[in-house]
A and B are shown apart, each in its own frame.
Chain A
Amino acid sequence: MSIKSINGCIGCEECIKSCPTDVIRLNPDSKKAEILYPEDCQICHLCRMYCPVDAITISPEKTIPVIVSWG
């Protein structure tokens, strides 16, 4: 799962800015952070550490995609 959920977001964008792999983006409608590219999460926790309201939950597991012969 890597980054799992964002609950209680205040829309400050700290997590978006500090994610090294562009996993999180601001939802243009809700103006809150949303997990858009979870497969690129490297579980470094910078987003969680920069979040001022402790809204981010992270799991240590990563879903590795299945191997296929094309892509």
Chain B
Amino acid sequence: MKKQNEKQEMSRRKFISLAGGAAASLAAMSAMGMPLDWALNNTGIDVESLDVNKISTDVLVIGSGMAGLFAAVKAHDAGAKVLMVSKGRLGASGQTPFAKGIFAFDPEKEDLSLDEFVVKVSRSALGTNNNAYTKQMAQHSLARVIELKEWGFFDSSLYNKSFSKPIVERNITVQERITITHLIKENDKVVGAAGFSIDEQKVLFYEAKSVILCTGAGGFKPNGFPICDLTHDGTIMAYNIGAKVTGKEWNDGHPGKSENVAACYDGWGDMFEQKPSTTGVEIRHDLGVDMNYVAYNNGSPLKMGPPGSGEQTKVSGGPYTPEEFMRHNDTPPGGKEGGRPPKGGKGGPPKGGKGEGAPPGMGGSIVGGSSAGMSIHKSEGLVPINDQCESTIPGLYAAGDALGSYMAGAIYTQIGSSLAGSAVQGGVAGEAAAKYCKNINSIKISTSKMKEIEEEILAPLKLEAGYSPAWVTQTLQGIMIPNFIIYIKKENLLKAALAYVEELRDHHIPMLRASNMHELRLAHETKNMIISAEMKLKASIMRTESRCSHYRLDYPELDNENWQVWLNIFKGEDDTMQFEKQPFNTWPV
């Protein structure tokens, strides 16, 4: 490891000299009369005169999807002053607007007891789930669903109105279209966050006794899956101030359509227009990466044909499914967690009978890997130190997809549990954060820290020349998204991709340019995606086995002797990426 660190340090130093060299040679090219339009950053903003605002609160909730809603409501109800900031809009942000099924465990209606439910989920998840969070999700799901019903959640396909009801009733302030780029830590505790408005050309600081990240997960802005603006912002901000994160080797396995691959809506058909509904117990082992394996072996995904097309799609080997959870039909995987509501609202996902098991709206040929860059819901994000959604940094909490709770495990085990888990964890985190605040007297972000962060936020606007975030993102997508890198993994190609990603990290991140606030957001998103790619590749290289949604062609078997562990990632004292193993169903040391 030491050798690798030295290498990285070398490349950083080399970068500094290179960056200077690049600027100098640009000047020389310009002097020679060579056109430089492609590199110049025509900033239309007077960066030096941007307003800087500071607001104080007890609990700062970042994100306004399902987890953010309950975090804000429950923190408020527990006596805290709450402020919510959102990159998008309340109820229309992150992946929440597209999730249409929410699991509700009603002990009176289910055959399985709560404990039996947890045991069965764990069998499907091959031990990768965290039993405490699996149980908590099921235990509190019905109560959250009842509250949602009271707010009108099940009455409309659009969630802004129902989400606004409890927020307005409690007079909780919500700031929308704010991009948070930094968490702030002083004296080993979280003291707030910082970011900017994309509309008002303002840098914003939030002093908070506690921060709850409800920032969702992310991807590489892939085509065909509604990850939209999620770029692992919360995870990377937390990693940057020393939090432990986890779960980067797993892969979400949702497919897309081969026609108009970029069209999220068309892939999911009319599902986005439907009102949400509840789901009951049905424990599965929904892989997704098995489709990537078929496509990898058979070539063109088009050959896979429509769902239910039979023998021609079969190949030997590939990702393992426990016998108990095998579906002996041709139902493709990928029932959207929180996904398609049942026909007629009778409960349960679409049944797996031949010809009726197509993922929602995907009547045509389907292609694996539409959500590239995202792990299984709830299985990546901040490492919790207990079942109260508390991170390794005092005062910092996370809920929903921002928390690596392993609620479902490294595979999809229960339809609708993702949305339920976000609601439940939001509530738990809100109450825990409010309680934490009661013991914090005052917090202050130092002027020097504010200056330092402001510089980092605005850096892309100040560059005279550099790389456009759109191009760097496209380059990253080209490196990471191919099936043979991110899904069907093998050491030599993971290492090859890592070499590219390290180049982007060292040479391109510092040169990401932005000419307006829209591009400034893209620049910070791109930076986060690059660091997440580094995490994903390194974690994938380390886990020398195949389990659930992590498939290694060179290590295709389960390795229970060495790998009944989660992989945590954190920033070492020398700023390099470090890894540690944490046995399943334990808390970090």
Contact = CB atoms under 8 A, between A and B. Distances in A.
Interface of A: 2, 17-22, 36-37, 39-40, 42-46, 49-50, 58, 60-62, 64-65, 67-68, 70-71
Nearest to A63: B262
B288 to A, nearest CB: 20
Nearest to A49: B158
Given A22-B521, A42-B228, A71 B260 contact: no
B518 A22 contact: yes
A19 B176 CA distance: 12
B364 interface: no
Interface in B172-197: 176-177
A40 B262 CA distance: 11
A15 B363 CA distance: 29
B570 interface: no
Nearest to A23: B518
B223 interface: yes
Contact of B262 (A20, A43, A46, A65): A43
Contact of A44 (B260, B264, B475, B522): B264
Contacts of B264: 42-45
B252 interface: no
B272 A42 contact: no
B365 interface: no
Interface of B: 38-39, 88-89, 92-94, 97-98, 157-158, 160, 176-177, 198, 221, 223, 226-229, 259-260, 262-266, 272-273, 467-468, 470-472, 474-475, 478, 518, 521-522
Contacts of A40: 522
A50 B198 contact: no
B263 A60 contact: yes
Given A70-B38, A71-B472, A46 B92 contact: yes
B156 to A, nearest CB: 10
Given A18-B160, A50-B92, A65-B470, A44 B262 contact: no
Given A20-B228, A42-B264, A50 B470 contact: no
A49 B272 contact: yes
B339 to A, nearest CB: 15
Given A44-B98, A44-B226, A60-B263, A71 B468 contact: yes
Nearest to B257: A60
A68 B470 CA distance: 12
Contacts of B98: 44
A48 to B, nearest CB: 9
Contacts of A18: 88-89, 92, 160
B265 A45 contact: yes
Contact of A58 (B39, B221, B259, B265): B265
26 contacts: A2-B262, A17-B89, A18-B92, A20-B228, A21-B228, A22-B229, A22-B518, A36-B518, A43-B262, A43-B263, A43-B265, A44-B228, A44-B272, A45-B272, A46-B92, A46-B97, A49-B273, A50-B92, A50-B160, A60-B259, A60-B265, A62-B263, A65-B470, A70-B467, A71-B38, A71-B468
Nearest to B468: A71
Task: Rank and list the top 7 A-B pairs by shortest CB-CB distance, nearest first.
Answer: A71-B471, A20-B228, A62-B262, A60-B260, A60-B263, A45-B265, A43-B263
